[in-house]
Structure 1
C-alpha cells in the first residue's frame, strides 16, 4: 500500500449544501453527447440532460433541481460541462416497488425502469471500462465492496449502513445477467442473489479488474458489467423509493488537508465547497479521485461522476539543485524498496513532484512487482507502442484497464505513464473493432 498522511476520519458528516452542481460529458469514455437541454431550462432531479449519439436510449440524469446555468463547449463544439444552479429539491418520480414486486420483474422491465430513470450510466462494462450497452447481456456482473486506493471511503461500513438498499440493488442486478453477480468484500457479509467473496492485501486488490482476473478472467468476445458499490445503493433506492437519490459519500484527505474527513454530498458537487474547511495555506494540488488515477482540478471545478474522493497534496514543482548528489541516503527518500522492507506502516508526506522526468526505459521488474495479474506488462507496453493488435490480444489486453496499471506508473524508474499507454491500446482495440 501507499501510506499517505492525512487519512480521512471515516465518520460521515453532512457537507454544506452546494449552490450548483455539474455533469462533465467529456469525462465519459467514447461518448458522443447530444444535448437535451439549453441554458435557462428548468430541470428536476432525474431529468435527462443529454444522451449518447451511439446509444440514444442511454441518457444522463440531472443530479439537482434548478436551472441550467452554463453549458460549456470545447473544440469542435464538444460538450464539456453542464452546470445546474440549485433552486429546490423537485424529483422525477416512479412507482416504488415492494420486494415481491421486484422479484416478479423480468430483465427487460428492470432495464426499462433504469433507462427511463436515466440511470443506466451507473453501469460500466469490461472491456474498455466505459458506460455499458443495454443491448448486451453480460456474462457476469462484478461489484467491488472494498476500496483499497489511498485515502478512500470505507465501502464496507457504507454497505452495512445501507444494507436494505444495497440488497435491493443486488437483486435487480442479478436479473440483468444470465451468469453470476460477484460481490467482493474485505470481510464476509451475507447477501441474497449474489456470490460473496473476500479479498485481502494491498492496493490494487480493491480494483474490480484485479478481482475479475482472479475470479473468472475475461475472454475475447465476452462482456462483463461492473457497478460501483455506492451506485448499487443508488439503484436500490430508485426501486425502493421511486426516485433518484444523487447522494454520494466522499472522502477528503491527503498531506495538504488540515481536517481530513468523510462527507455526504451530491453527485457533481463543486470542489471548492468540499475543501473550504481544509484551510489550504501552502500551494496545494487538488485531485478529483485518488492520487493514482484522479484528475487535477481547481476550486472552481466539479467532482467527477465516478469519483468518491478528493485528494489534497502539497504542490511541489521545484527541482532540487544537484539532487542526485544530495547528502544522505535513500532512507531520506521514498522508494518501493524502503516502503516494503524498512518503513512498515509509516505514512509518507507525498508532494506532486515525480522526482525526475521521462527517460529511457529500463526493465528492472518494477512494473511486475506491483501488478498482481498474470500479464506481462513490459511486452504488452511494447506491443501497444507498435500498434500490434494481434500481439496485444495474445498478451491479455482485453482484461486490462489503465487503473490497474496505476501502480506501475508510480513505481516506474523511467517515469512512464504505463496506465496512459494501456488506455491508448484499449482505444485502438475498440476503434479497430
Structure 2
C-alpha cells in the first residue's frame, strides 16, 4: 500500500492575536435558519445566468444559476424550499439569491463505496463536482478565482488548518466525519497532475488515504501559517499566469466525500461562534448561507456587532454567511472593521502577540520610534521575497514589477497582516486585488 509523503514547515514570522471569547472546541448545537443566501461575490470569475425565478420551488442540490460561458459550472441550492427573492446590485448585476427553507427534498446523485472512489478517475470526479455545484468550492491561484474546468491543476492544496483568531479547530470537525473526509481527499487527489497537499497543524491526528500523491504537510508557527498562500509558497512551486494551482477548504472536502458516499448534497457546515459578545462561545452546525440573525446572539449586556468571516482578512458586516465563512464573531459596537485588515477592538478587548513575535502591534498604535517601516512588514511576512518592493508595486499599480516580485501567488488575505501593522494605514490587500485584475485583463 502506497505511503503518504510528509513535510513539516515552521513559519518563523507572523502574528497571533488573541481576543476574549475564544470558542470551546465542542459542537454546541445546530442552528436552523429559515432563510439562506447564495451570494455571487463568493464566486470570483463566474458570469451568472439564472436558472430559477422568484417563487420557484427548489430541491437541495438543484441548480440556481450557471456560468454563461461554461454551463457545466453551476451553483446549487443548499436547502429545499422556495426562491424568496433575487437581488441585484450596481448595473443590475446579480448579487444574491434568497431561499426560504421549508423542506428536505434533495436531488439524488450517484453513490460509490470507498474502493470505487479510489478508482473513479479524474473525469468522473469532475462530473460529480460540477453536477453538485461543489466545483465552485475549488479556487485557483493566481487570481483566487473559481477553478477553470478547462485546466488540469498542477497541484491541489487542501486547507485543514486555520490560524485565524477565534477559529474552529479543523481537527475537531474532521474527527466527527473521518470517513467523508478520507473519501473526499481520495477523490480530489485524482484531479491534479502532481501532488495533493493536505495542510495541517503540527502533530494533528487527521487521517489520510494511503496514496503516494497525497502529501501530509504540517505548518507550525503564527498566522498566516493556516493560509493557502503560505502553503503554496512553502512548496516552492512556480506560480504561472495560468491558474493551475488550486486550493479547497476541509469542510468542502467533507461535503464532497459525503456526496459520493451518500448521494446527497450536504448543505451544512460547522462554524465557530465566538468573541467577547458571546456568553458560551463554541462550534455550531449551520446551513450554508444562513442568516446571521438566526444565530444565538446577542447574549451579554452590551451593544454589539456581528461579523462574518475571518478576523484577519475578509471580516465583514453582513446579513448572511458567505460561502466560505467558517466563523462568526461578536464584538462591542465600538469595534471597527479596517478595510481588508480585520476587526479591532475598543479599550475593553485584549490584543496579545505570541512569544514567536517580538512585540504586540495593535493597529491603533504606531511602531516605536526608530523602527523602519520595512522592518515592520518583515516581521509578518513569511515569504521568501522582500515585502517592501512588492507592497510598493501593488500600491502604484505596476503589474510587471508585481509579477516579478511574487504577487501571483497571493490573495487579499495574505496581505491582511501588512494592512494591520502599516504605520500609515495603507490598504495593501485592496491594492493587490486591483493589480491582479489588471494582470488578468492582459491575458
**Residues 1:105 and 2:120 aligned together:** yes
Q: Which shifted more, 17-26 or 146-155?
A: 17-26
Of residues 262, 273, 278, the one that matches 2:298 is 278
Report the equivalent of 1:213.
233
Report the equivalent of 2:54.
39
Higher relative contact order (CA 8 A, sep 6+): 2
The equivalences for 1:221-236 within 5 A come to 221-222=241-242, 223-236=244-257
Cα distance change, pair 335–14 in 1 and its aligned pair in 2 (3 A): closer
Native 8 Å contact 1:45 1:244 kept in 2: yes
**Residues 1:30 and 2:45 aligned together:** yes
Following superposition, the deviation at residue 165 of structure 1 comes to 0.6
More helix as a share of residues: 1
The equivalences for 1:17-416 within 5 A come to 17-186=32-201, 187-188=203-204, 189-192=206-209, 193=211, 194-222=214-242, 223-274=244-295, 276-279=296-299, 281-298=301-318, 301-316=319-334, 340-341=357-358, 354=364, 363-416=373-426
Superposed CA RMSD in Å reads: 2.5
Distance 1:355 1:201 in 2: 24
Distance 1:205 1:339 in 2: 12
Native 8 Å contact 2:418 2:428 kept in 1: yes
Cα distance change, pair 253–390 in 1 and its aligned pair in 2 (3 A): same
Question: TM-score, with normalisation over the residues of structure 1?
Answer: 0.88
Cα deviation per residue 1:243-299 (whole Å; 9 max; x = unaligned)? 10111001011122222121011100011111x34325433232111211234225x
User: Any idea what SS the aligned residue of 2:71 has?
Assistant: strand
Following superposition, the deviation at residue 387 of structure 1 comes to 2.8
Distance 2:263 2:356 in 1: 49
User: Any idea what SS the aligned residue of 1:183 has?
Assistant: strand
Which runs of 5 or more structure 1 residues have no equivalent in the other structure?
319-331, 357-361
Cα distance change, pair 406–208 in 1 and its aligned pair in 2 (3 A): same
Following superposition, the deviation at residue 210 of structure 1 comes to 0.2
Following superposition, the deviation at residue 412 of structure 1 comes to 1.3
Aligned pairs, how many? 406
Following superposition, the deviation at residue 333 of structure 1 comes to 9.0
Cα distance change, pair 404–119 in 1 and its aligned pair in 2 (3 A): same
Native 8 Å contact 2:141 2:239 kept in 1: no
Following superposition, the deviation at residue 411 of structure 1 comes to 1.2
Distance 1:100 1:342 in 2: 51
Question: TM-score, with normalisation over the residues of structure 2?
Answer: 0.86
User: Any idea what SS the aligned residue of 1:55 has?
Assistant: coil
